[in-house]
Homo-oligomer: A and B are copies of this chain.
Amino acid sequence: MLDERSKSVLLAVIQCHINSPGPVGSRAVTKKYPFGLSPATIRNIMSDLEEMGFLAQPHTSAGRVPTDLGYRYYVDTLKDDNHFTNNELVTELNKKLEVIRQDINTVFDEASRMLSSLSHYIGISVSPNAATSTLSKIELIKYRENQLAVIMFTDEGIIKNKVITIDPELSQSNLNRIAEYINAQHTGHTVEEIKEKVIRDLSQDRLRCDDLISQAVRICRDIFSSSPGNVYISGLSEVLQLPDFCDIDKIKELLRAIEDKHIILRLLDQISEAAGMQIFIGSENPLEEMKNLSMVVSTYREGNRPIGAIGIIGPTRMNYQQAITIVASTANYITDMLSNK
């Protein structure tokens, strides 16, 4: 569909544009990438590329700017080549990652900060959705007259608190019985599975020991009701340095896109359903607010099951190669952390 020469020109234009913002002209291309062709020829090729939808002209007699489609083509060739093992970057990254090893519970916060500091774009990460985590242990602690603290430990080592209001009559010893029951019967299953199973099993028993059981059912329903992961977003100040966000409206647009963590959470949850890396370029983004931004995300896994996602949000004029490297490495690192320990 695209002959070799046009392809090189397209990639050259994109490379130029990533290096410095603003439309890129035919002469600039010949200077940076000496094909042995004159600017006039490049102009003709660029004109063809525009017709095919890979480039666009902000106005007559400006240079060309890659379209979302152009970037898509570029990113796809990057993936094919997958020579995106920029070694210096990977070692710097691993050095930084080493530092955050310690505690899986803080790794997601750290990861978002790291993603942004390395890429100079927005770093996002979401801790695993409890619903898909496998429970390893649960503790129920009555710490106030009518309040119960639920402490859940997942197989990945994540600790999650939850406060539930309970009948003041309910004693700690009865809570212990409920906790023991859950621990004995259900650890190793995902919270989603447990919720169904526990409620089903207990409901069958209801005929026998009515009062405690019915309370237990209610508590379990609360315990295992959805408790989404946390979203961590960093790097606003990084991104404001970029020339891409030089005017107020761009900034407002960006903020509108990332201000509501719930939206980002839902987005990443959705992405987490498919494994591996995904790249959304401009208008490809599922979110209207992000149609002028790009997003590079990857899921991380526990075993083979993807349980969460991390990524980078930046301008469509993004250094995709670098972003892909950073996101992929970080995701792998988290996957390792979740599996090894």
Query: Which chain B residues border A236 with CB–CB below 8 Å?
Result: 236, 255, 259
**Contact between chains at B163 and A161 (CB < 8 Å):** no
Q: Does A137 contact B (CB under 8 A)?
A: yes
Query: Which chain B residues border A255 with CB–CB below 8 Å?
Result: 236-237, 240
Q: Measured between alpha carbons, how far is A179 from B105 in the docked complex, in Å?
A: 22
Query: Which chain B residues border A105 with CB–CB below 8 Å?
Result: 161, 163
Q: Does A149 contact B (CB under 8 A)?
A: yes
**Interface residues of A, CB < 8 Å — how many?**
30
A window 36-91: CB within 8 A of B = none
Candidates B139, B147, B157, B163; contact of A141 at CB < 8 Å: B139
| Segment of A18-26, A243-251, A309-317 in the binding face | A243-251
Q: Measured between alpha carbons, how far is A214 from B256 in the docked complex, in Å?
A: 53
Q: Measured between alpha carbons, how far is A151 from B142 in the docked complex, in Å?
A: 13
Query: Which chain B residues border A341 with CB–CB below 8 Å?
Result: 144
Q: Measured between alpha carbons, how far is A248 from B245 in the docked complex, in Å?
A: 9
Candidates B136, B141, B248, B252; contact of A143 at CB < 8 Å: B136
By beta carbon, the residue of chain B nearest A147 is B157
Q: Does A103 contact B (CB under 8 A)?
A: yes
Q: Does A320 contact B (CB under 8 A)?
A: no
Q: Does A121 contact B (CB under 8 A)?
A: no
Interface readout for A217-246 with B: 1 if CB under 8 Å, 0 if not? 000000000000000000011001000001
By beta carbon, the residue of chain B nearest A247 is B248
Query: Which chain B residues border A102 with CB–CB below 8 Å?
Result: 165
Q: Does A153 contact B (CB under 8 A)?
A: yes
Q: Measured between alpha carbons, how far is A137 from B143 in the docked complex, in Å?
A: 8
**Contact between chains at A159 and B149 (CB < 8 Å):** yes
Distance (whole angstroms) from the CB of A286 to the closest CB of chain B: 21
**Contact between chains at A237 and B259 (CB < 8 Å):** yes
Q: Measured between alpha carbons, how far is A255 from B240 in the docked complex, in Å?
A: 9
Candidates B136, B163, B237, B256; contact of A237 at CB < 8 Å: B256
**Contact between chains at A141 and B151 (CB < 8 Å):** yes
**Contact between chains at A143 and B153 (CB < 8 Å):** yes
By beta carbon, the residue of chain B nearest A234 is B259
A window 125-180: CB within 8 A of B = 136-137, 139, 141, 143-144, 147, 149, 151, 153, 157, 159, 161, 163, 165
Candidates B144, B153, B240; contact of A251 at CB < 8 Å: B240
Query: Which chain B residues border A161 with CB–CB below 8 Å?
Result: 105, 151, 159, 161
Across the A-B interface, the 9 shortest Cβ-Cβ residue pairs: A237-B259, A143-B153, A103-B163, A237-B255, A159-B161, A149-B159, A240-B252, A151-B151, A137-B143
- Residues of A in contact with B (beta carbons under 8 Å apart): 102-103, 105, 136-137, 139, 141, 143-144, 147, 149, 151, 153, 157, 159, 161, 163, 165, 236-237, 240, 246-248, 251-252, 255-256, 259, 341
Q: List 7 contacting pairs A-B, 8 Å CB cutoff, sorted by A.
A: A105-B161, A139-B141, A149-B159, A236-B259, A237-B252, A240-B248, A248-B248
